[in-house]
Amino acid sequence: MSIKKYLTLTRAGIIEALQFRLSFLVMIIGNLLYLIVIYFLWKAIYASAGTDVVGGMTFSDTLIYLVLATALYNFMEMYTVWEIGRNIQSGKIVLDLLKPMEYRRYLFWSYSGSFVTQFFLTFLPTFIAVSILTHGAISFGVNLPLFVVSVIMAISINYSIDFIVGTICLYTESIWGINIMKQVIVLLLSGATIPIAFFPEPLKSAMFYLPFQSIYNAPLTVLLHGGSDIESALRLMGMQLVWVVIMNVISIVFWKASLRQITVNGG
């Protein structure tokens, strides 16, 4: 198996992304606005709480977490569901299926270029800005390599979930509602919009056993606390690894079974 045929798709994705210069600007402005909203929202929450520490997190803890979560979201969001749905509706999926490459891999690698561009254009600048502005809230040690591994596993889980939802579109032939539902569930239960520390106790432990927290909560926790508490960081990553395997198996099996739906009933 040659890695070259996959990397060429990554390369194409990077070139493709670079064709649209203005979209970067718009995205950066959009992110800034979102971060401003988050800042004032949580400021108001902390002001009304009357204490400095809510759910074990100070205001600046929360803000650092959420800023990084937003950056991570921009970096990892793949819009796979839209892509699969659109391809099904337009019939382009037929052409993609006729590439000498398995569709699930083809789609992933077609997207991988956006990881690279988004990493350098949104995540890295945000990360640097946060670490400078907070004067060392992020430690630079073993947590960084762990974070990289953790993010890679998070991407894999996120892609598998997207792909499963995208596969559902084969049956429903509609995208919008399903995608919105997926997005809300993932963003809420993964800790991307509200840190998991804020959730009430029974829900918190339930979330620990769901795959979603492995997408945002796990890598962020590894990054922010992995330096001081390696043991729990490794436990989170072990959990991630389990979900990587489970979600990949489900998405592959579900896709194989559903492909019959296309080949039997027409694309």
Partner 1 sequence: MSSIIEIKNVSKEFKVLNRREGLKGSLMDLFSRDYKIVKAVDDISMTIEPGEIVGYLGPNGAGKSTTIKMMTGVLEPSSGEILVNGKIPYKNRTENAQQIGVVFGQRSQLWWALPLIESFKILKDIYMIPDSDYNNMLEFYKSLVDIDDLLHKPVRQMSLGQRTLSDILAAFLHNPAIVFLDEPTIGLDVSMKAKIRTLIKGLNKEKKTTVILTTHDMGDVDALCERIVIIDHGKMLYDNDIEHLKGFFGSYRTLKVRVDDDLKVESEIIQGEFEDLQVTSDDEWISILVDEDKIGVIDVFGTLQKTHKISDMQIEEISTEDVIKKIYEGGVK
* Alpha-carbon span 45 to 50, nearest angstrom: 9
Which of 46, 103 has the CB closer to partner 1? 103
Closest distance between partner 1 and the C-beta of residue 29, in Å?
A: 22
What are φ and ψ of residue 202, in 5° steps?
-60, -40
Q: How far is CA 173 from the centre of its chain?
A: 24
Closest distance between partner 1 and the C-beta of residue 1, in Å?
A: 10
Given a contact cutoff of 8 angstroms between Cβ atoms, the answer to whether 54 and 19 are in contact is no
Buried b (16+ CB within 10 A) or exposed e, 16-41: ebeeeeeeeeeeeeebeeeeeebeee
Closest distance between partner 1 and the C-beta of residue 201, in Å?
A: 40
Closest distance between partner 1 and the C-beta of residue 16, in Å?
A: 5
Which of 8, 232 has the CB closer to partner 1? 8
Strand partners for 58 = 53
Closest distance between partner 1 and the C-beta of residue 95, in Å?
A: 5
Residues that bind partner 1 (CB under 8 A): 2, 4-5, 7-9, 11-12, 15-16, 19-20, 90-92, 94-95, 97-102, 260, 262-267
Which of 121, 194 has the CB closer to partner 1? 121
Given a contact cutoff of 8 angstroms between Cβ atoms, the answer to whether 207 and 196 are in contact is yes
Given a contact cutoff of 8 angstroms between Cβ atoms, the answer to whether 97 and 103 are in contact is yes
* Site of tokens 């640097």: 128
Which of 58, 90 has the CB closer to partner 1? 90
- DSSP code for 78: -
Which of 96, 229 has the CB closer to partner 1? 96
Which of 106, 199 has the CB closer to partner 1? 106
Closest distance between partner 1 and the C-beta of residue 8, in Å?
A: 4
Q: Is 134 helix (H, G, I), strand (E, B) or coil?
A: coil
| Ramachandran region, residue 173 (left: φ > 0; alpha: ψ -120 to 50; beta: rest) | left
What are φ and ψ of residue 83, in 5° steps?
-60, -50
Type of residue at 146 = L
Which of 20, 208 has the CB closer to partner 1? 20
